Structure 1
């Protein structure tokens, strides 16, 4: 057993100095026991560390320090001191190649090397398992820093060993990534890992993508992958914003840079390929609706830049997401439209799928404003066929008959803008196909007896190019001139006037609801005209003046009897 180091200090008892008595009448102040105990613990840990580095005969001190690290729940401060000390020890041992087995290494030394490697794995496993995901944010951050310090040493010991340290399944780096994927409460660690390491170093970003792909692929084959793991993988990769634009930008390394210039770390295509494979591994995993929504929200900004090639694979995922229905369909179409306009993707069914989203639900949906914004973007091209544009206009006009006022106040100005962009559709304003048209009622006063022509528009047709809307009329919008809400009625009259106004700014008509429309009315300072109120309090509700029940009373009596 190693002897106690006294550093030349006397170990005998110190005698009390009677010549200087305490004259102030108070008891001498004692040092806090907690502080003294902490100092003693720190001194002991530093002593154990110093002995390990002095001689290999004290390697067993690693086990003692590891026991302090494992006791993090009861003594977190002591565990932190021990963890930092062990990190310094292993970094020194790795730098001194004490964990490397050479060709001329004796059998006894080889056993020591194996023992040290096992202790290093215990240390890494303890931090990754017990510290990452800890409710104590400082403790979690400490563990991440210590593990990445070990990674720094392991990836700075020659090209061959550095490559193994990045890729080996049970290496420190891969065990850290595995913990970030599996720990539910590790949001802070995942964010810090990306901000401090992935975004700053090209090699860490490359091997992070590789580690995620390797983990998902291994567990997908065993059919043991958890939904939470997939969500954590999406969360981790979605925070990676830095996409290199050229090979010259690949110059920031955390570990030792490769000696060969032909190494894949210097290849931009290799970086894109490994990122594509990581995302494709996520696409092939069992995805919930929330997972798909999270992916679609970042598809154009964080995922698409990595897909310089193999766009069809990303398109397949977007098509599958569209088939899920609901808000996912809109998000998927947004990404597909981006591919069409930015990557020249040929997707002939785009407007057919967009047309299928126009139903009663979208007029009442909480995502209505977002849908209208995207719809205006999708329909902004002046090169769209007039028959297709007419179908969208007619369908929205038909849906507006049962839509809330907040939706109608956007539809009317949008139709106005579309008619100005596509003059071939303006004939829909003047065809007397329906008695709601004043033109038709004046020209055909006996329409109720003789009948009227049928509307050529087919609401059930799924192809917007064959609905017959271009030969129909917008009688629905003229009907809105008699809407119960005065704002809607007034706005609908713009289609009956000359088109002399500029295009409407549609943003001004979004985000309206019953509440906002009522608040706007109630918020008026002055009324131009006092509203006329005709309201007479009835003398009787369910009975007649001569006695007995009236019609309403009879209905109420029958309802009570049936109940």
Structure 2
């Protein structure tokens, strides 16, 4: 009993004693981080410093280290991993019981963690102002890992991971893309794997996310991804900026465009590569492979549900930035025909690329003129891209093999629009009709039609003064344009805008005499507006100025015949205005 009580007192005494305080952790300095790196590089005995240095590269909202700590740790880890990468196993390799194998597998896992940290830092929003220089260092380190991380070959998995995070990032995508454009897109293999990464990203992530969820927030994020993808694709310089006989500059050419068997056979024969760096095929073969990846990336992108602003931007530049570099431009026919069938501004924008496929790549599109005829509305004369549309319209109607009814339908439709369009549109219409009449002499009867042209039966069925043209008819065979006339153009002789009334006089010439007439350049009028017409008028030198003169000096602004029943008195009559008003009212009552 005494022993138990003594033990209790002893325990109570120990519990009542205050606990010893732990020694606070020493605050780390930059010299400590440098010392960790120097130890890691000096011997394997300090391999445990590796995870300590990696901790400085984890960007978290709660813990943030000074940029000097991050930079010092980054440089030490890069110096440690670079010489070891050719000897490390792959990320999926399983270690054996050999201690050296276990060590190398562990180091490989830390390298993968190092790459993950670099990707996270590159898209992190923690860099602002002067810290943007650190982002550039992070990107350079990451690209070095891409260069040598796969046993000396281009590490496409790391690069895909970086491209994916860059496209999914909201704020930092533009900054990273500008760095890529300025420093790395000049290398042909960087562009090659960028196309591969974008195609893989679209097929794996973007399409699945857009198909699985259809909430408003998901749709908004999906549209942002599509915009970022288009931004990246539009920033990649085309291959043809370099000549076919020039040597393409590569970031790492090992095994990118050549097969390993070809490279090994060349090494066995002892033949040295003539090109700089490695065994690289001819520029024509590189161009062929690049076009294939370019085509796959763009066709995958065009299959996405594009936002309307991206859709318009793509259609405007498609014929210049995409079609010339596709392996087979005819693969765009489905996309362009769908766009052309939408109508409105989208159809106007799609016409340029569709016209190129028809004239240069053998695309047959029977409904071209039907859709083109449907686009002739008053709104097209004030559209943003009307200039290119009118030039293409003139080109589509250039062939002399067009049937007369089709040319007459377009001429009559344009002349009817001349009654409602602005003056600039009237100038374009006169130019288009001028070219139509000159190219197709069979429709010159629309300018001056005699009564004896019609058969007796037709004359009996047609009332005088009735236009037989069906303006709302969509079938060009049933518009009855050949039975009408261009009377609307005749009304433009008295147009309030002098340039329009002057330009109509060109249609009075006999346009069937091709030797004495020339076609009008539609591009000179296609982009006109009120401002351009006014500028041309004030620059114009007027030979004759209309003057007004009178045999006798007028005593009033208006004559009495203009206002019957009213009388006008000058101020010389000393009558008040009230008396004049009273007299005028009395005269009106008497009448």
Q: Same fold (TM over 0.5)?
A: yes
Cα distance change of structure 1 residues 240 and 351 upon mapping to structure 2, 3 Å threshold: farther
Structure 1 distance, partners of 2:418, 2:127, is 51
Structure 2: runs of 5+ lacking an equivalent: 1-28, 214-220, 264-278, 454-458, 550-555, 568-580
Structure 2 distance, partners of 1:252, 1:515, is 49
Matched, 1:58 2:49: no
Partner deviation per Cα, 1:347-401 (whole Å, 9 max, x = no partner): 1111211111101111233333232223223333333333222222211111011
3-state SS of 1:401 partner? coil
User: Which residue of structure 2 lines up, in the alignment, with residue 30 of structure 1?
Assistant: none
User: Which residue of structure 2 lines up, in the alignment, with residue 48 of structure 1?
Assistant: 36
Task: Choose which of 320, 323, 332 in structure 1 pairs with 2:338.
Answer: 320
Task: Choose which of 427, 431, 438 in structure 1 pairs with 2:449.
Answer: 431
User: Which residue of structure 2 lines up, in the alignment, with residue 404 of structure 1?
Assistant: 422
Of the structure 1 ranges 395-404 and 424-433, higher mean CA displacement relative to structure 2 is found in 424-433
User: Which residue of structure 1 lines up, in the alignment, with residue 272 of structure 2?
Assistant: none
Once the 2 structures are TM-superposed, how far is the Cα of residue 229 of structure 1 from its aligned partner? 1.0
Matched, 1:507 2:519: no
Task: Choose which of 146, 151, 156 in structure 2 pairs with 1:151.
Answer: 146
Structure 2 distance, partners of 1:519, 1:300, is 32
User: Which residue of structure 2 lines up, in the alignment, with residue 125 of structure 1?
Assistant: 119
Matched, 1:458 2:458: no
Matched, 1:284 2:271: no
Structure 2 distance, partners of 1:108, 1:385, is 81
Structure 1 distance, partners of 2:343, 2:88, is 58
Structure 1: runs of 5+ lacking an equivalent: 1-39, 434-438, 441-446, 551-563
TM-score when scaled to structure 1?
0.74
Structure 2 distance, partners of 1:345, 1:97, is 53
Matched, 1:413 2:401: no
User: Which residue of structure 2 lines up, in the alignment, with residue 367 of structure 1?
Assistant: 385
Tell whether the 8 Å contact from 2:381 to 2:421 is kept in structure 1 after alignment: yes
TM-score when scaled to structure 2?
0.71
Of the structure 1 ranges 262-271 and 210-219, higher mean CA displacement relative to structure 2 is found in 262-271
Tell whether the 8 Å contact from 1:240 to 1:302 is kept in structure 2 after alignment: no
Task: Choose which of 492, 495, 498 in structure 1 pairs with 2:507.
Answer: 495
Once the 2 structures are TM-superposed, how far is the Cα of residue 64 of structure 1 from its aligned partner? 4.1
Tell whether the 8 Å contact from 1:132 to 1:140 is kept in structure 2 after alignment: no
1:79-478 map, 5 Å? 79-97=70-88, 105-106=98-99, 108-109=102-103, 112-113=106-107, 115-130=109-124, 138-155=133-150, 157=151, 162=153, 165-166=155-156, 171-185=157-171, 186-194=173-181, 196-201=183-188, 203-219=189-205, 220-222=207-209, 223=211, 226-243=222-239, 252-258=249-255, 259-261=260-262, 271-309=290-328, 311-312=330-331, 314-431=332-449, 452=464, 454-478=466-490
Structure 2 distance, partners of 1:418, 1:65, is 77
Once the 2 structures are TM-superposed, how far is the Cα of residue 252 of structure 1 from its aligned partner? 4.8
Tell whether the 8 Å contact from 2:89 to 2:104 is kept in structure 1 after alignment: no
3-state SS of 1:338 partner? helix
Once the 2 structures are TM-superposed, how far is the Cα of residue 181 of structure 1 from its aligned partner? 1.3
Structure 2 distance, partners of 1:148, 1:233, is 20
Tell whether the 8 Å contact from 2:96 to 2:102 is kept in structure 1 after alignment: no
Once the 2 structures are TM-superposed, how far is the Cα of residue 498 of structure 1 from its aligned partner? 4.0
Structure 2 distance, partners of 1:178, 1:319, is 31
